């Protein structure tokens, strides 16, 4: 029971981390595109 709970918590943490990474990557790429556009 406890092992199952820790497994679920680990999965949720992993999902949250990947989401945060995806969001930061998306923000960085949009900022980069915007900067490139403003240079032109």
The predicted pLDDT at position 1 comes to 78
Beta carbons within 10 angstroms of residue 29's beta carbon: 10
Asked if pLDDT for residue 6 goes beyond 70, the answer is: yes
Q: Can you give the pLDDT at residue 37?
A: 87
Please choose, from the candidates 9, 32, 13, 11, the residue with its C-alpha nearest in 3D space to the C-alpha of residue 21.
Answer: 13
The Cα 35–Cα 16 span in angstroms is 28
Structure-block tokens of residue 18: 């990947």
pTM over 0.75: no
pLDDT at 4 over 70: yes
What whole-number distance in Å separates Cα of residue 32 and Cα of residue 38? 10
HSE-up (13 A, CA, CB side) for residue 10? 6
8-40 pLDDT tens trace:
999 999 999 999 999 999 999 998 898 888 876
User: What pLDDT is stored for residue 40 in this prediction?
Assistant: 64
């Amino acid at each position: 029971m406890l092992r199952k709970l820790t497994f679920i918590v680990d999965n949720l943490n992993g999902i949250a981390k990947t989401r945060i990474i995806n969001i930061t990557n998306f923000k960085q790429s949009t900022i980069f595109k915007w900067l490139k556009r403003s240079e032109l």
